[in-house]
Copies of this chain bind each other. A is one copy, B any other.
Amino acid sequence: MSNTDHPMEKLVRKLASRNVLSSEDQNAILALPYVTRTYEPNSYLIREGELAKRYCSFVLSGFAYRQKLTAQGARQIVSLHMPGDILDLQHLFLKLADHNVQALTKLETADVDRDGLRVLATERPAVAQAMWIDALVDASVFREWVMNVGRRNARTRIAHLLCEFATRMKFAGLNNGENFELPMTQEQIGDATGLTSVHVNRTLKLLAEDGLVYRDKRYLSFTDWEHMRSVADFSSLYLHLDQAGLPAP
């Protein structure tokens, strides 16, 4: 995936991975007006309780995350997002935002008018279905995360987070699936897994000592994917990566 692509070509590729699209469908997406925006690390794209945005953001470069806060101020990251992800489909038809969306790194988005997307959805059922599927896959990831923080120990939880990230990055064409930078502080990894940064530190150290990952700063390499997968209790089924590929049921 080259960086010189037209932003909407990337969006076409994303939606085409969710549902088969005709060339008319694809052209309709390419014709969508958009503006690009950039965000600094930690800046907010959406705040809980606000009216949902009038536009829908598509990630061109950088990383973002969804997050909620308890009354006592504890933070729970509920999902991670990377180039090629659509951020606001979760709020496309909702009036108030129920969570926060924050830039993890420097972030570049292409923002498409929400009403324009809604019209497109009405006129092009296949595109609507692709967007709908994308939102359903997000929901599937949320369910997996409920299980991850609810029923797995620290070692498995963190390993699972790493496997999910690596798998999604590979699918998005952003790495080879085994060597990658995880652009998160250990505190953020803790916020994503329901742990403290201290325990994340100790657990990452153990994973490295056990020879499952090689670590250098935030760069990670899996030494044995299958072993890692097994420690992480990871199966990519919930990511629905082959959604558009399978024959219709």
Contacts and interface: CB of A to CB of B under 8 A. Distances in A.
A242 B95 CA distance: 9
A133 B93 contact: yes
Interface string A2-44: 0000000000000000010000000000000000000000000
Contact of A93 (B19, B49, B121): B19
Interface stretch (A144-152, A166-174, A176-184): A144-152
Interface residues of A, number: 59
Contacts of A150: 76, 149-150, 193-194
Interface of A: 19, 48-49, 51-52, 54, 66, 68, 70-72, 74-76, 78-79, 90-96, 98-99, 121-122, 125, 128-129, 132-133, 135-140, 142-147, 149-152, 156, 193-194, 233, 237-238, 240, 242-243, 246, 249
